[in-house]
Amino acid sequence: MKLDEDTLQAIVEAVARRLAAEAPPEPLPAPAMDFQAPCGGDGGHACTARPRPVHAVATPVYEAMLPRLVALTSSQVAVGRAGNRFRTDLYLRAREGHADARDAVHSEVPEDWAARHGLVQLQTRCRDRQEYLLYPNHGRRLDDVSRATVEAHARAGAGPDVQVLVGDGLSPNAIVENGASTLDALRRALQAAGLRTGVDYYVRFARIGVADEVGVLARARSSVILVGERPGLGTGDSLSLYLAVGPRLDQDNAEKNCISNVRPIGIRPEEAGSQAVAILKRALELGVGGVALGLGWGRQ
């Protein structure tokens, strides 16, 4: 059924009226502002910057609805404007978020991080961060030493149900901030489900596709890689899990499942771990993942 514009507008207005009629929640506490800003006009002395208001829309049509929307998301909602420009506080926050994203892309995971968390360290064909950013394909294959390491471990035991990897990805900072807690939660969930894991690896300069090669070399039935997401504004700590059943080289992303936004204000590590195991169990049962899994295809 195709909705005409008048019907769609009526639906939107009805939902807006219902939200406006409901009691708004208690407003969230304003973020602490720990920097000083020049007041201007009186010699440039410093004054404490004012926190962001609940919303900055001068004459909202549905006043009661805006605090509800702001409380539900960290996105830029009802931020207002100054003429046809961003407000100064919003512009400064956007610059701060952009700087956070750039810092995350160029961050590094400490050299001892893998050993501290029981992971064998590998590296892709990238020699440094610059090559990793310029040549994505180099981050999808292991270097010769790392490949030999995985092959040696594979000869020593049977192929696991799930090959677990951690990769720095496009936000190594996400691994530093949320990698350990997410890895621990995933390990607990896999153990509780009775799914066998082999040697767990950490891959430096990793793209998602490196899990394909490691999964093949390890003769694993499936793989899951925890990887730092490509950061957006203010999201330099966001982690993703990519899951694949029947790993093979250059496996299409349509055959994989993703759990993203694992971080304190997103999906919690325990939730990510339990979701990942539920997906893997179903994918192994049906023999398919990704889009096909969502459609219920595979072995019945």
pLDDT above 90 covers what percent of the chain? 63
Instruction: State pLDDT tens for residues 9-59.
Output: 888 788 777 767 765 555 444 443 333 333 333 334 333 344 445 667 777
Average pLDDT, the chain: 86
Where is pLDDT greater, at 239 or 1?
239
Q: Where are the alpha helices (DSSP H) in the chain?
A: 5-21, 65-72, 88-105, 113-116, 129-134, 144-155, 172-192, 210-217, 269-286, 290-294
Is the pLDDT confidence value at 1 over 90? no
Question: Which whole number is the average pLDDT over 235-260?
Answer: 95
pLDDT (tens digit, 9 = 90+) per residue, 177-220? 999 999 999 999 999 999 999 999 999 999 999 999 999 999 99
Least confident of 71-75, 93-97, 203-207: 71-75
Check residue 23 and give its pLDDT: 53
Structure tokens at 126: 């990238």
Q: Looking at the whole model, is its pTM more than 0.75? A: yes
pLDDT tens track for 273-296:
999 999 999 999 999 999 999 888
Least confident range from 69-83, 91-105, 182-196, 268-282: namely 69-83
The topology (CATH level 3) of 113-294 is Rossmann fold (3.40.50)
Q: What is the pLDDT of residue 31?
A: 40
pLDDT at 294: 85
Q: Where are the domains of the chain?
A: 113-294
Higher pLDDT, 149 or 59: 149
User: What is the DSSP annotation of 110-173?
Assistant: -TTHHHHTT-EEEEBS-SSHHHHHH-GGGGGSB-HHHHHHHHHHHHTSPPPSEEEEEE-TT-HH
